[in-house]
Amino acid sequence: MRCVLGIDSGGTKCHAILVRDDGQVLGWGETDPAEERRRLVAHPGGRGRSYAAVLKAITRAIGRVDYEEIFIASVASAIPLDFLKTDRPTRIQSCKVPEYEAAMIQVGETSGVVALAGTGALVFARNREGSSAHLDGLGPLLGDHGSGYEIGFRAIRAAAQSGWHPRRNASFAPAIIKICGGNPNDPTGISLLRYQLARRDRSEIAVLAKIVSEAAKNGDAVAKRIIEEAAADMADTVYDAVDLLKMKDEPYPFIGTGGIITGSDVYWDNLCRLVSKFAPRMNPVRSDLPAVVGVALTGLAKMPGVDFASAKARLFETTRAFLQSKLSRRLKAA
């Protein structure tokens, strides 16, 4: 049996999906370092990219499936191979898949603008003439404008200030302070000093964006401001890309991907509103499937002898069914 193994190792979590060459999903694996922080070591790009996190996601996706040939498509260059069967030869091929290419193929486009906001952030644009621009993705010190890290960092600062004055009160502050090991009853923010002085994995800060996003959805003014400011930072990067490539007045897809964009309607709605001001003909599109599906789809496109259109349709259909079944099992267990 021929399979594609898609791997999307982000800064905060890692997803892996095993797909037969006809698009049938065979297995799914994920590692969420926010839940397994004590067992996973830090990594410069975030715990989701650590060797242990990627290997665990792969192992869960493959399970006990037997295969004779495997095509590995991954957003990262380094791939753990410990999962390979040692009792028999296996044909292996692999390719590195840029995150923006996975986002484009997932929505069926070859040109347009990709805005990625997850743990980090970047913008990629390609016009119909083939010219392209890749901006940001520089990490939290030099860039990552509009990223989960930026939102988490602002959330910690807002939590520290929450007790200073009623106008600074944030509903999410107690949760943030507790996670950071501070005292929620301390109005000065001093109890967070120890957290500030320790060396932190960037995924540890980026994961706080979920709390802020939920508070913004529920109407918290401070949370909404943080999300809106992050979306504005991303919009500034989008402007630079489309202006450089003279795409502002042309109809192109505006593709949103990454955990922040797919998980926060407040962020996405604000980003689309801001982009529409300088690029009114952009068509916003946000896939309802995880980004790893686009990674696997890229692998299928490169595998010889695959009926791509049929495999793509089956991949989308079986992924939705697979994830729905997985969600149902979780709800029953709860």
**What fold does the segment set 2-102+289-333 form as a domain?**
Nucleotidyltransferase; domain 5 (3.30.420)
What are the C-alpha distances in Å from 189 to residues 18, 165, 169, 193, 273? 46, 12, 12, 8, 35
Mean of the per-residue pLDDT values of the chain: 90
The region of weakest confidence among 8-22, 60-74, 75-89, 288-302 is 75-89
**Residue 168: C-alpha distances to residues 159, 209, 331 (Å):** 9, 18, 36
Contacts 24+ apart (CB under 8 A), 26-31: 26/65, 27/60, 27/61, 27/62, 27/63, 27/65, 28/60, 28/61, 28/322, 28/323, 28/326, 29/56, 29/57, 29/58, 29/59, 29/60, 29/61, 29/62, 30/57, 30/60, 31/56, 31/57, 31/60
Residue pLDDT, tens place only, 280-330: 999 999 999 999 999 999 999 999 999 999 999 999 999 999 888 876 666
Fold (CATH) for 110-144+227-286: Nucleotidyltransferase; domain 5 (3.30.420)
- Residue 65 is predicted with a pLDDT of 86
Res 330: pLDDT: 62
What's the pLDDT tens digit per position in 159-196?
Answer: 999 999 999 999 999 999 999 999 988 889 999 999 88
Q: Are 253 and 279 in contact (CB under 8 A)?
A: no
Total number of residues shown for the chain: 334
pLDDT, tens digit, 9 for 90 and up, residues 204-262? 899 999 999 999 999 999 999 999 999 999 999 999 999 999 999 999 999 999 999 99
Domain ranges of the chain: 2-102+289-333, 110-144+227-286
d(CA 156, CA 162): 10
> Mean pLDDT, to the nearest integer, of 154-160?
96
The distance of Cα 159 from the centroid of its chain, to the nearest Å, equals: 25
Q: Are residues 208 and 155 in contact, defined by beta-carbon separation less than 8 angstroms?
A: yes
- Is residue 147 within 8 Å of residue 260, measured between CB atoms? yes
Question: Per residue in 6-30, pLDDT tens?
Answer: 999 876 789 999 999 999 999 999 8
